[in-house]
Amino acid sequence: MSPLLVGDLPNAPRFNRQSLVAPEQCVELNLEQKLGHLYEDAFAALLASSPDVELLERNLQVQRNRHSTAGELDFLVRELNGRLTHLEIAAKFYLAVKSDNGIYFPGPDSRDNYDKKIQRLLSHQLTLTQRHKRDLPPDYREADIIVKQLIYGCLFDHITEVQPSFPEFSNPDCRRGKWLHRRELADHFPSDSQFHLIPKHLWPVPIKLLEEIPLEPWRPESTHDRCQMLRINGYLCPYFIAPDEYPKQAQG
């Protein structure tokens, strides 16, 4: 079971994954959609096949009125103990970047960052069922709803860093990777290194599980304007190769 990126959050502990059961039959997923939507589809299939969890709602809109939406619940489930649980999930990836003000954690698209995601969860997404109880569908307005979360992903330290960085609330045992700018490749890898591109839909998969999966070769001389995740033969973690201007220029 892959380690989580984020540990328990205030008033929103981690969801117990021991209650989840994989589907007996392979579920067809749309691999061309955004990673967040793909992850939600896969997790919905997992919930639907788990006998100890009843999936009640997915992407439930919290409507202030017919013209205004307060937000959306990823999932509303009933656990084995009968309690209703608002469950938020995500798969996120962040690079530890040093600055004059310390270390911060932008995503491959540098418009996103770890602190922004956590604060959004704490101030908005994880509080919807408390702050907007009267805006829930009638069947749930009087229910005692608890809130939990599952945030998967990986933190990437710069290739020259010896000690890993741990942002607030991160799981100390989370998956780790390394990152470097494209201009630094020749300083850290021999010319005969074999690079393979990890497509975005496989980013959440631990590197060990990708060893037997055929991946597209990646050449250092190829031009790119966004962070790309690589499997590099002989290395035991994933690598992000970032454009030389990263993180100053947000990636599209």
pLDDT tens for each residue of 217-243: 999 887 778 999 999 998 999 999 999
Counted domains in the chain: 1
Question: Coil, strand or helix: which one is 133?
Answer: helix
CA R_g for the chain: 20
Host domain of residue 179 = 17-242
Residue 217 included in any domain:
yes
Q: Is the pLDDT of residue 250 over 70?
A: no
pLDDT for 63:
82
Q: What percent of the chain has pLDDT above 70?
A: 98
**Range 57-64 average pLDDT:** 91
Question: Is 228 a domain residue?
Answer: yes
Question: Residue 69: what pLDDT?
Answer: 85
Task: Flag whether 11 is in a domain.
Answer: no
pLDDT: is 220 or 119 the higher one? Answer: 119
Q: Do the domain assignments include residue 95? A: yes
Is 225 part of a structural domain of the chain?
yes
Residues 6 or more apart from 165 whose CB is under 8 A from it?
96, 103, 105, 155, 157
Evaluate whether residue 10 is within a structural domain: no
Question: What's the rounded Cα separation, in Å, for the pair 238 and 115?
Answer: 22
The token pair at 75 is 């999932």
Is pLDDT at 180 greater than 80 in this prediction? yes
